[in-house]
Amino acid sequence: MKNYETVIGLEVHVELATKTKIFCSCSTAFGGAPNTHTCPVCTGMPGSLPVLNRQVVEYAMAVGLATNCDITRYGKFDRKNYFYPDNPQNYQISQLYLPICRNGHVDIETSAGKKSIGIHEIHMEEDAGKLIHDEWEDCSLVDYNRSGVPLIEIVSEPDMRSADEVIAYLEKLRLIIQYLGASDCKLQEGSMRADVNLSVREVGAEKFGTRTEMKNLNSFKAIARAIEGEKARQIELIEEGKAVIQETRRWDDNKEYSYAMRSKEDAQDYRYFPEPDLVPVVISEEWLEEVRSRQPELRDEKMARYRREYDIPDYDIEILTGSKHMADLFEETIAICGKPKEVSNWLMVETMRLLKEKNQEPEDISFSPEHLAALIGLIGDGKINRTTAKEVFEVIFAEDVDPVAYVEEKGLGMVSDDGALREVVENVIRDNPQSVEDYHAGKKKAIGFLVGQTMKAMHGKADPAKINKLLAELL
């Protein structure tokens, strides 16, 4: 078999985190009863007109700036005409001729090394509604709650050569967009969707092979599998002397196979033309500067700062900044209690363990920085020991309880009365003469047993350092 190279470009749709829709003031919130987040505009009623949501433009600009794009200073919206019931006007308002961002790139790193992936363009558009087939009545119903939810489509250059690079690129985009607060980018929930354009060619060939476009990819794992599957399918065709057909294919992740949806021949003519109901999007120098000045610290900058400011290992920095939510939690907690290393430890060890156990993502962390800081405070003040602290943390993780009140209520605080502790230690020494003898005979390890016995008698609520000190004194 010849040596083949895979050429991949992505079209990534991202649902923006605006409170209202792109062309009307309806809510974008998930989960409303069907057709409750609708109005004449997003249901395509006669005579209704779109009005552009300024926040959509600002998010698109922010993503463009963060991905090194040129921002189009005089942009326009265009109508993409096609008939489908989820699309109430039978045209989608999108951007074809003058998209808001062009000519960008993001830098990725894989085991194959560092690479820059080009971004052809980013454009703004509206989402469609949802068709629901009612089996009982044998009819289709439409829910327009999602109709008009703002999207950006990020179109890459065909610069990726492997599934690894695709995943690295998507991870990078996801983090950038999450850091900007422009979207939560959840693949499973559809707030980030990627279509994969893939072709293969012999290594060294100058021309690209015929590409296919794959849809219905709901996770990074599915994307990786789809790339491998499609690559194999195309190579097999070529090896058999058959041609790859330019078409759109639907990936079935259960069967690990893609199915042809429509070929280029039945591709629709969308009859794009400038949207006459909207005025051009003119971005002034001031507006651009305003958005630029509001750009938050992105991940690469944050990692560099952590290295500079905190004495924590690179690996930890990687994990902490690998989720905007986690990094925020880290920074908010140390803003209250300091101790970056200790805060990092709680997030890196206990938090990650519990997330894994519960099969959750860092974005799902629901406890507040105040409560983690308070827990660290209790340890620092010698109010609880580490064993107790871990138990309390599990409750904080699950229910975000206030650790001070919780420790108080459950009586988990360490006994700070030195007189009471001294009495218990004296009793332990008296009741364990063999260990005392061993200790004096030079078996220093015997003290461990005596500490344990004391702790047991104290129901775990004593400070081990104090017990050690008292034992040394009394023995």
Partner 1 sequence: MSILSMTAVELSKKIKEKEISVKEAVQASLDQIEAGEKKYNCYVTVDPEGALAQAEAIQKKIDDGELTGPLAGVPMAVKDNICTKGLKTTCSSKILYNFVPPYDAEAADHLKKAGAVILGKTNMDEFAMGSTTETSAFGATKNPWNTEHVPGGSSGGSCSAVAANECFAALGSDTGGSIRQPSSFCGVTGLKPTYGTVSRYGLIAYGSSLDQIGPVAKDVADCAAILDVIAGHDRKDSTSVARETYDFVSALQDDVKGMKIGIPAGYFGEGLDPEVKAAVLAAADVLKAKGAEVEMFDLGLIEYAIPAYYVIASAEASSNLARFDGVKYGYRTEEYEGLHNMYKKTRSEGFGPEVKRRIMLGSFVLSSGYYDAYYLKALRTKALIKQEFDRAFERFDVILAPAAPTTAPKLGESLANPLQMYLGDIYTISVNLAGLPGISVPCGTDAKGLPIGVQMIGNCFEEKKILRAAYSFQKEHPFAACPGAVL
* Contacting residues for 334 by C-beta, under 8 A, at least 6 apart: 340, 343
Which residue from 278, 264, 269 is spatially nearest to 57, judged by alpha carbons?
A: 278
Q: Which is nearer to partner 1, 241 or 276 (CB)?
A: 276
Is 261 a binding residue for partner 1 by CB under 8 A? The answer is no
Q: How far apart are the C-alpha atoms of 313 and 174, rounded to whole Å?
A: 24
Which residues does 179 contact at the CB level (< 8 Å), separation at least 6?
66, 296, 297, 298, 299, 302, 324
277 lies in the binding site for partner 1 (CB under 8 A):
yes
Q: Got the DSSP string for 3-70? A: -EEEEEEEEEEEE---SB-SSSS-B--TTPSTTSS--TTTTT-TT------HHHHHHHHHHHHHTTPE
The helix (run of H) or strand (run of E) holding residue 142 is strand 139-143
Q: Which stretch binds partner 1 (CB under 8 A): 86-94, 322-330, 356-364, 372-380?
A: 86-94
Q: Quick check: 226 and 163 in contact, CB under 8 A?
A: no
Q: Residue 263 interacts with partner 1 (CB under 8 A)?
A: no
Indicate which single residue of 29, 30, 36, 49 sits in contact with partner 1 (rule: CB under 8 A). Answer: 49
The answer to whether 3 touches 203, Cβ cutoff 8 Å, is yes
Q: Which residues from 377-406 bind partner 1, rule CB under 8 A?
A: none
- Is the Cβ of residue 40 or residue 382 nearer to partner 1 in the bound state? 40
Q: Residue 282 Cβ, how far from partner 1 at the closest point, in Å?
A: 12
Segment near partner 1 (CB under 8 A); pick from 37-45, 290-298, 320-328, 403-411: 37-45
* Stretch of residues binding partner 1 (CB under 8 A), selected from 3-11, 42-50, 305-313, 328-336: 42-50
- Comparing CB distances to partner 1, the nearer of 18 and 385 is 18
Counting contacts by CB under 8 A, is residue 264 touching partner 1? no
Give the integer Cα–Cα distance in Å for 304 and 321: 11
Residue 127 Rama label (left phi>0; alpha psi -120 to 50; beta):
beta
Stretch that binds partner 1, among 78-86, 227-235, 318-326, 426-434 (CB under 8 A): 78-86
CB of 55 to partner 1, least distance (A): 16
Q: Which of 11, 27, 34, 44 binds partner 1 (CB under 8 A)?
A: 44
Dihedral, CA of residue 192, residue 248, residue 146 and residue 366, to nearest 10: -20
Q: Which of 31, 47, 241, 433 binds partner 1 (CB under 8 A)?
A: 47
Nearest Cα residue to 283 out of 57, 52, 56: 57
Instruction: Choose which of 16, 18, 50, 251 interacts with partner 1 (CB under 8 A).
Output: 50
Please count the other Cβ atoms lying within 10 Å of the Cβ belonging to residue 264.
12
> Does the footprint of partner 1 cover residue 190 (CB under 8 A)?
no
Nearest one of 123, 101, 125 to 52, comparing CA atoms: 125
User: Contact with partner 1 (CB under 8 A): which of 19, 70, 85, 259?
Assistant: 85
d(CA 396, CA 367): 6
Q: Which of residues 138-167 bind partner 1 (CB under 8 A)?
A: 140, 142
DSSP secondary structure string for all residues of 215-264: E---SHHHHHHHHHHHHHHHHHHHHTTPPPP-EEEEEETTTTEEEEEEEG
Q: Which residues contact 346 (CB under 8 A, 6 or more apart)?
A: 372, 375, 376, 393
Burial (CB count within 10 angstroms: exposed 0-12, middle 13-18, buried 19+), residue 188: exposed
Of residues 90 and 219, the one with the C-beta less far from partner 1? 90
User: CB of 62 within 8 A of CB of 124?
Assistant: no
Q: How far is the CB of 19 from partner 1 (least distance, A)?
A: 18
The site that binds partner 1 (CB under 8 A) totals a number of residues, namely 29
Nearest approach in angstroms of CB 51 to partner 1 is 5
Q: Which stretch binds partner 1 (CB under 8 A): 85-93, 174-182, 400-408, 440-448?
A: 85-93
Write down the least CB distance from residue 273 to partner 1, Å. Answer: 5
Q: Going by C-beta distance under 8 Å and a sequence separation of 6 or more, which residues neighbour residue 469?
A: none
Q: Which is nearer to partner 1, 91 or 251 (CB)?
A: 91
Nearest to partner 1 of 30, 273 (CB atom): 273
Residue closer to partner 1, measured from CB, 104 or 150: 150
Is 43 an interacting residue with respect to partner 1 (CB under 8 A)? yes
88 near partner 1, rule: CB under 8 A: yes
Give yes or no for residue 40 binding partner 1 (CB under 8 A).
yes
- Binding window for partner 1 (CB under 8 A); candidates: 8-16, 47-55, 164-172, 451-459: 47-55
91 lies in the site for partner 1, by CB under 8 A: yes
Site residues, partner 1 (CB under 8 A): 40, 43-52, 79, 81, 83, 85, 88-91, 140, 142, 269, 271-273, 276-279
